Structure 1
Amino acid sequence: MTGSFYRGLLVLKMIPHEPAGISTSQIRDRLASEHEIAVDTRTVQRDLASIEMVFPLGRSDGASAQVFWPRNCQVELMPSHDDYSALTWNLLDEYLSPLLPASMAEQARPLFDTARRYLEEGDRQAVRQWRTRVRAIPRSFELHPPDIDPAVQRAVYEALYHGDQLRVSYCSRGSADCRDLDLHPQALVVRESVFYLLARVDGYDDIRHFALHRMARADINGRDAEFDADFDLDAYIRSGAFAYPEGDRVDLVLRFAAYVGQHLLETKLCEDQSSTELDDGRLEIRARVRDTQQLRWWLLGFGAAVEVVAPNSLREFIREQARGMLARHDGHHE
């Protein structure tokens, strides 16, 4: 492999996708620092001119002009796809691209597009059939996702990625007025169809949840965010923060109509759950769980097919809800 050919391949690998870019001096410096290839700026310019005879590079204007691969560029420089890699990239595009920072999603777009074209072209019926025959669907009643301002989402993702503070105009649920807040982003959580930024409000220590669709505006305010080094997102989620705790852990005793409770023998409430078939045919489930709003909503969804035996506080909550529902639905609707 000749020196100029090898150097040209290295230069090709350095060129990013729009909106990012790289200058000739940056390429020269990276050749020297990363590959111990010492060349002058004029040599790099000649390399780029040779590349542009074959590939459609873009150039920015100005004194420090940069080169880049333009948006929607269909040049494929990565190794050729096979069925496995194309299907993997295609699934990543569908399920994970909403979680990428906007700048990364834009740079990954050519990779997603090459995978899509691979699946669409040629005699690849088997892999195309797999793509149309496999779906992941929610277990609960599905709601349409709320609208998120793309500018808000971009600002939130970039602030979290780069460690910047955010100034947001936030409208709490049920409130007609928005408040301006300076936030220190800590993490992002997607719960069903809602995106939540976990952040500290400037001047406070507690972690709060901010739904992205309730942000009327979000801007990076130019200051570094303060990140809690001890914050563990997985531990935070396991603590029940997104289940909305109502109390401590409780010894839960439930009695289900036989068929309704069978799924809990396969998908348990906890590792040490126990079950007993009662003389009347019902299934009794015992488990130690956290008392949360999510647990209460789940139990209410079974209606008369479940009896809450213990704890008494949870049983009384269900009784109150049932009385309220009966009063609401008693008689004819006018």
Structure 2
Amino acid sequence: MVGLTNKKAVRLLRLQERLIMGKEVYPPDLARELHVSLRSVQRDLADLQKTDLALRTHETPDGRQVWSVMPSQRQFDVKMTTMDLVVARLALGMFHKYQGTGLEDFLAELAEKVSSKLESAAGSKKLNLTGRLMARQPFSRDFTTSSDIFDEVLTALLNGKKLEMDYAGLRGETRRHIVHPYTLLAYKSGLYLIGRSESVRDGLPRVFAIERISACVHLRKEPSEVPPDWDPEAFVPFWGGLLPGKEQKVRLRFVPTLAPYVQKLRLPENSRLTRGPAGSLDLTLHAVINEEFITWVLGFGPAVQVITPRRLQEQMCDQLRATLAQYETA
């Protein structure tokens, strides 16, 4: 034991493993445990400080100076079954789509770790997983030019700090905001920050698209304020997305061949499915009528018909006429 722990490389490895597992290190205790001098332990800690390991010190109530790593670098020993690893790998592939945010690199590294564990587990169970798992996200957005901005947003959000940012509105005008960040929302292929802007007098939360933030910095000395009753699930409607619109009762009629698909949809609690004429299926729900909802309905083409309300029928017809006009003038 003494001969082994006297080797500096081994000591550094053990010390690093101990720290990243979230354990605190008190140099005198560690020196006695490893049978080395206090000076050796202090040198080891100094060497680790020169690496990517983010070390910090603090004083305990009994006056001892202990060392630890920042919470963001701690690792955890999580026990997972083979099925857990399969699900985790597939899920990581589904979310691996935010190119340029830094999340992409992080998820790729995490997926590699899970894949390595999965291969080991599959080997021991003689499972052939080659080509068995795949996830693809077409038409996802490229956030490469927003990587630094995303990092600032995430830092402010996790550390409870305000953000100062320049934001381009829908009309193209850029405005400076001091924002109290509430929630980072991954919605479809986009990333959005929900928060309150001090530049807007009504004090209501707003949705900011990450890709429309042209400059951003978190304010280290200015803590943000999040209402104690803030509920992001209530703020983002189940059906209607992030665009403004008025919630209305809608009735859609789907052709018989689409009935099995519609019956498997995840629907709001107040939705109702009923049989229509000739084997069709009627879906009645309350939805926010906006461009996103209209686009979703249009995606079914002639396989769906808007029964009510009349105004939605007119909006659908307007969209179809405008689309047809694009080809009539060609």
TM range (shorter): 0.5 to 0.7
For the pair 1:311 / 2:301, whether they are aligned, the reply is no
Q: Is the 8 A contact 2:239 2:293 kept in 1?
A: no
* Structure 2: gaps of 5 or more residues: 6-10, 57-66, 70-74
The residue matched to 1:255 in structure 2 has which SS? strand
Aligned counterparts, 1:155-304, within 5 A: 155-175=152-172, 177-204=173-200, 205-222=203-220, 223-238=222-237, 242-250=241-249, 252-267=250-265, 269-271=267-269, 272-278=271-277, 281=278, 283-293=280-290, 294-304=292-302
Q: Is the 8 A contact 1:87 1:127 kept in 2?
A: no
Give per-residue Cα distances to partners, 1:159-184, cap 9 Å, x unaligned: 00000111112223451x53322111
Structure 2: distance between partners of 1:199 and 1:291: 21
The residue matched to 1:221 in structure 2 has which SS? strand
Q: Is the 8 A contact 2:240 2:293 kept in 1?
A: no
The residue matched to 1:159 in structure 2 has which SS? helix
* TM-score when normalising by structure 1: 0.67
The residue matched to 1:180 in structure 2 has which SS? strand
* TM-score when normalising by structure 2: 0.67
Give per-residue Cα distances to partners, 1:310-329, cap 9 Å, x unaligned: 11121222233233333443
The residue matched to 1:197 in structure 2 has which SS? strand
Which shifted more, 82-91 or 226-235? Answer: 82-91
* Structure 1: gaps of 5 or more residues: 70-75
Measure how far apart 1:30 and its partner are.
11
Q: Is the 8 A contact 2:255 2:303 kept in 1?
A: yes
Q: Could you tell me which residue of structure 1 aligns to residue 50 of structure 2? A: 60
What is the aligned-residue RMSD (CA, Å)?
Answer: 4.8
Q: Could you tell me which residue of structure 2 aligns to residue 151 of structure 1? A: 148
Q: Closer, same or farther in 2 for the Cα pair 1:282/1:134, shift >3 Å?
A: same
Q: Is the 8 A contact 2:253 2:306 kept in 1?
A: yes
Structure 1: distance between partners of 2:162 and 2:191: 18
Aligned counterparts, 1:17-56, within 5 A: 27-28=25-26, 45-47=39-41
Q: Is the 8 A contact 2:238 2:268 kept in 1?
A: no
Give the number of aligned pairs: 295
Measure how far apart 1:259 and its partner are.
1.6
Q: Is the 8 A contact 1:186 1:198 kept in 2?
A: yes
Structure 2: distance between partners of 1:219 and 1:268: 38
Residue 15 of structure 1: which of 11, 19, 33 is its match?
19
Structure 1: distance between partners of 2:304 and 2:20: 58
Structure 2: distance between partners of 1:244 and 1:105: 26
Q: Is the 8 A contact 1:87 1:131 kept in 2?
A: no
Which shifted more, 208-217 or 230-239? Answer: 230-239
Q: Is the 8 A contact 2:253 2:307 kept in 1?
A: yes
Q: Is the 8 A contact 1:275 1:285 kept in 2?
A: yes
Give per-residue Cα distances to partners, 1:164-214, cap 9 Å, x unaligned: 111112223451x53322111000011121110111112441111111122
The residue matched to 1:58 in structure 2 has which SS? helix
Amino acid at match of 2:50: S
